[in-house]
Structure 1
């Protein structure tokens, strides 16, 4: 820590001196060789505080800090765990935090006024995949009867929620509700869990904010409610919920504790789905544009480090994340998923090299089509109460996702020789939309340019002029 503070304050003093005398002493210094000050400009704010929730996908923040990438940009950063997603968002809005590791739906939900209304933007996608759905041992024992086994005697994956439906129906016939936890109403976890349940014929319920009903349980076969990620295993063990959808390491924790079984990963629900983003307030980004670009630069480098050489750095990353100030879970629990494997039923460990992706497949780029997918799910489940035009979806995505800022950060890294243009999308031709894909558990095709047609393809969910 002494080295970190000394380096940062030395940089600040040098930068201040340079600005006062108006000469570019720093450009030629050995400490800052390769940094393109003339092109990008100095950070307007050097001391920054970022927030995160204790999940492995906060890794780009931890690595950017530990590897000195923030320092390279002239930034003195402190990173602070937050109690829950609402507290985290509120602290970004009121300025206690300069930015944060956020659920991809949080900047979108805030911008459209679902829950807290605020203008939040993102110029950096933190990862792909990384979540799982876990059920209690009792539910798993009942589900297994409806799941085919492979030649090795192990359950065939991916496991459809259709194997859960008879269990839910049985509980309903006994007058008992089936309950599952997810981390936040606008979380990827909520939408992935709903997607999986609905694809298997289980209705996850509607929201009706215009009527004051934000429970999300209208017409539900499965009652979903919010539980903070680190509390998921204990809440399930206590019998309060029958299962949950959460990021790592809290699915693997259930395996290690022997209290539940992860039945499916989000990679199997939607291959290479966007998960977390780095969010800042729009006003902060406008006040500190150079600082923002430099933050994105540092995290791009961190994401590359996490994935490079076929995940060779992951064991070192796990050691860092296991520290109490970051995720604070046991090394073996975090490594179970971060190093390219995932354990389902105890002893059923399978290779999933892309369970956590931080840089491959342009994972860090903020695609408009990702934002629009989240908006479709908000509409599907009633968080967006009224029908919206395809143009509205596009306009809203552009308010929140900022590939223009990302491109400036990437270009600066390319000019400095730290990264190659081939590692990024072609910014001259990129339109912000991934190709249409059918890589979902139900095979439905998603085309971000046609959101209303996409909504019409689902049997369960609001579409067209539907309203609750």
Structure 2
């Protein structure tokens, strides 16, 4: 389909869409698309609806109350596979929304005890009577997978050496202050705000685990994508243009940070949003740096491609940690969920480059991931659960 075809004949079947999002910095492109004229340009009105938790967002997607949403990659695949408390439902990933920009933080008590490194944390985790509790945001979500992967890389089994609980992103600081948790993995601005308020330290960024890793996606049910293909494509085009706008200049990033800090969106201090939005980090331990892999929304389309290999990676981690009891048809499922043809149509109409559907990456433990052998990859880790993960590690919270 060429540019002329889309502009002439593909009027959205449903011109008004309800779009869910969570109070996170990486919802920026969806917020910009809805509020800065990009949606209207493509014949859409986007009604933004902030959600209280990922479980609530998921349920509203499945009920049809939301047409599409800023979503965790692993949430979409968890629903597709019938994991995490919802019935298996055919889902769709329309595009990637961002790379990088999540963090693992430790509590003030651990920092005061000089537990400020992976080695020190491993020693503490393996002490008798020193059971630690870490929060992530959803049982199959990206934050659970980054937390588990990082802990395992430090020799800490995330399902047996520590406890894992689910906490919605905006509630992380309250749980930390109440000493209910010893650390967390979450998206910004909540890690930065914890550091700003001297509520512990940032021990690892997600981009230190996997540089330019996949993070949030624009997700919906497959039924919505099939029944409203023009609306779905117009939505992708609007968010693609918003993503390109954000990444075009530092001025655009600053204005976007100001916009999303508002009470109806992320509702957090600009001082907690803007620096890490710009790649400016401080960890609460006296270190400050300009990150080489900052939060990105477009990067000439490299961020937005719904890569098959990215989707397959999350399924390998579900298998690794026992969420899946058997190996699924990794590639087949990814091909069903990732809306490659629709994305290519939208990107091509905007003269945005479309990368190959598989990409290669090296993670912090030296393992290379390219999607070619998911069965072998899931079994290749020294620390894993595969079929014996305790169910308590995967309970959800609203």
Same fold (TM over 0.5): yes
1:285 aligns with 225
Instruction: Tell me if 1:433 matches 2:358.
Output: yes
Instruction: Tell me if 1:85 matches 2:14.
Output: no
Distance 1:40-1:133 versus aligned 2 partners, 3 A rule: farther
Within the candidate set 34, 38, 42, 1:73 is matched to: 42
1:203-352 correspondence runs (5 A)? 203-205=157-159, 220-309=160-249, 311-345=250-284, 347-352=286-291
| Matched length | 384
Distance 1:134-1:403 versus aligned 2 partners, 3 A rule: same
1:395 aligns with 332
How far off its partner does 1:387 sit? 3.6
Of structures 1 and 2, the one scoring higher in RCO (CA 8 A, sep 6+) is 2
Asked if structure 1 preserves the Cα contact closer than 8 Å seen for 2:16 and 2:46, the reply is yes
CA distance in 2 between partners of 1:70 and 1:258 (Å)? 39
Q: Which blocks of at least 5 consecutive residues in structure 1 are unaligned? A: 1-33, 148-158, 206-219, 415-422
CA distance in 1 between partners of 2:346 and 2:152 (Å)? 39
SS in 2 for 1:267: helix
1:164 aligns with 121
Within the candidate set 69, 72, 89, 1:118 is matched to: 89
2:10 aligns with 41
How far off its partner does 1:40 sit? 4.7
Distance 1:178-1:294 versus aligned 2 partners, 3 A rule: same
1:455 aligns with 378
Asked if structure 2 preserves the Cα contact closer than 8 Å seen for 1:204 and 1:224, the reply is yes
Q: Which stretch of the first structure deviates more once superposed, 343-352 or 251-260?
A: 343-352
Distance 1:193-1:38 versus aligned 2 partners, 3 A rule: closer
2:21 aligns with 52
How far off its partner does 1:302 sit? 0.8
Q: Which stretch of the first structure deviates more once superposed, 36-45 or 182-191?
A: 36-45
Distance 1:375-1:127 versus aligned 2 partners, 3 A rule: same
How far off its partner does 1:39 sit? 5.0
CA distance in 1 between partners of 2:18 and 2:310 (Å)? 27
How far off its partner does 1:353 sit? 4.8
How far off its partner does 1:181 sit? 0.4
SS in 2 for 1:78: strand
Instruction: Tell me if 1:138 matches 2:109.
Output: yes
Q: Which stretch of the first structure deviates more once superposed, 114-123 or 244-253?
A: 114-123
2:310 aligns with 370
Asked if structure 2 preserves the Cα contact closer than 8 Å seen for 1:255 and 1:345, the reply is yes
Asked if structure 1 preserves the Cα contact closer than 8 Å seen for 2:211 and 2:293, the reply is no
- Taking only aligned residues, the RMSD between alpha carbons, in angstroms, comes to 1.7
Asked if structure 2 preserves the Cα contact closer than 8 Å seen for 1:455 and 1:462, the reply is no
1:185 aligns with 139
CA distance in 1 between partners of 2:38 and 2:294 (Å)? 25
Asked if structure 2 preserves the Cα contact closer than 8 Å seen for 1:91 and 1:97, the reply is yes
Cα-to-partner distance string for 1:170-226 (whole Å, 9 max, x where unaligned): 3xx1x2421010000011100000001001110111xxxxxxxxxxxxxx1011110
CA distance in 1 between partners of 2:32 and 2:125 (Å)? 42
Distance 1:264-1:293 versus aligned 2 partners, 3 A rule: same
Cα-to-partner distance string for 1:71-115 (whole Å, 9 max, x where unaligned): 001111110101111111111111111111110011111111113
2:393 aligns with none
Q: Which blocks of at least 5 consecutive residues in structure 2 are unaligned? A: 390-398
